[in-house]
Amino acid sequence: MAEIVLGIGLCVVLIADLYVSDRARDVTYLLTMVVLGLTAWVAGGIGADGQQVTFSGSFVVDPMARVLKLIALAVVATVFVYSRGYLKDRGVYKGEYFLLGLFALLGMMVMISAYSMLTMYLGLEILSLSLYALVAFDRNSPVAAEAAIKYFVLGAIASGTLLYGISIVYGVTGSLQFPEINAVLAGGAANETALLVALAFIVAGIAFKFGAVPFHMWLPDVYNGAPTCVTLFVGTAPKLAAIALAIRVLVEGLGPAAPGWEPMLVILAVLSLSIGNLVAIAQTNIRRMLAYSTVGHVGFIFLGLLVGSQAGLQASLFYTIIYVVMAAGAFGMLILLSRKGFDADYLDDFKGLNKRSPWFAFIMMLLMLSMIGVPPLAGFYAKWWVLQALLEQGHVWLAVIGVLFSVIGAFYYLRVIKLMYFDEPEQVIALKAPADLRLGLSINGLVVLGLGLFPDRLIAICAQVFA
């Protein structure tokens, strides 16, 4: 029902936008927010207990689906709030941005509730095609067009890789539905060699969607080339769909084949942690720095997944949610510092922010310290639960690597804080931003602090998902 409401609402927004003049584009924005609100009301209120499977076993609504859908809706609404002023300043305040965002959200929700390989792939393609168009949204930007082409070509290869892996799984198990695949694999009837080949293709496809090394090559270019409001979208909500993709396919579908895919995740996690954090140190462009930072965080998410235990899955889900909240705030700060004719793309743009706006310098400091994993912020508990899950399963060396690269990664986050508080601003220009952006960013930063001070509720929700 949530997907149906969103789909109908999307059509209403699409048609209404045709009759809205450029001056009245706020009508499209408000309609979009109403659609998101209605979808959230339906997603949170209908069939709120247990698990329901429909469409001949290809679509499921369970606790994980409800939690991730509600968070995805909240994140997308936040992205739209942050983006409105940015789009107006650049003369690209068009209905297409909101429509493509809603289409991408529809793809995410289908992925989150997918209970078969085919449904998962359909959701993935709806999401991916929307993101390719979003990256190229500013037609007058050659950099955005280049980033979109790179993203499209590499994304098509990754989708083909994933589809090939799915076809082999179908050949081996005779089914596309996750419970049936799981049952066949648990019975030991599958050809092990063919299964390993399928796992390699599927893990590669999943790693690309996350942006894990060595499938991360699109991430810095897309983050840097796309308009900042699009980078904000790409860097946040799709990660929720990616964690659903990984859990549904690897755990619920290919769980009995864990001895095959866990070593692959170990390699991806270690490479992502090391390369992501080391390369981020060398960046002077903050968008590229945050892109490589994302790669490092993906390494931590994979550490939770590869543990294979319930605690590991809970930690991985918790980490993903916290990361999305932190990333939304960080990219939102770039929009705050941008103005007409100027994008805050470089670390030097944060120089002396404390003198220009002590409050937002404080908010950015909270976000950076949380990404490091400093208590009592939310990022600390995210890393703590992953490390605890690793130690419980005896993966001491992986926990040591996680801590080591967290310490190394602290350097480039602390550099941002140093620039804000200890460097002189190159030019003192008052921050001019819409009230909704200021309020949203303030709440965003305080949520990161609040989830760190009172993490129990979110931890309990993540535990219920896998109970």
Which pTM does this prediction carry? 0.93
**CA 214, CA 201: separation in Å to the nearest integer?**
14
Other residues' Cβ atoms within 10 Å of the Cβ of residue 453: 11
Cis peptide leading into residue 434 (ω within 30°): no
The pLDDT confidence band at residue 48, using thresholds 50, 70 and 90, is low
| Enclosing H/E stretch for 424 | none
Tens digits of residue pLDDT in 314-339:
999 999 999 999 999 999 999 988 87
CA atoms within 13 A of residue 404's CA, in its CB half-sphere: 11
The pLDDT confidence band at residue 49, using thresholds 50, 70 and 90, is low
Q: What is the pLDDT of residue 201?
A: 93
Q: What is the pLDDT of residue 216?
A: 86
Q: What is the pLDDT of residue 47?
A: 52
Long-range own/partner contacts, residues 22-30 (CB < 8 A, 24 or more apart): 22/93, 25/93, 25/94, 25/95, 28/95, 28/98, 29/80, 29/84, 29/98
Tens digits of residue pLDDT in 245-304:
999 999 888 888 888 888 999 999 999 999 999 999 988 889 999 999 999 999 999 998
**CA 352, CA 68: separation in Å to the nearest integer?**
38
* Tokens of residue 180, six digits: 């049936």
Tens digits of residue pLDDT in 331-372:
999 998 887 777 788 888 888 888 888 899 999 999 999 999
* β-strand pairing of 59-61 with 52-54: antiparallel
Tokens 């709030």 belong to 81
Other residues' Cβ atoms within 10 Å of the Cβ of residue 73: 24
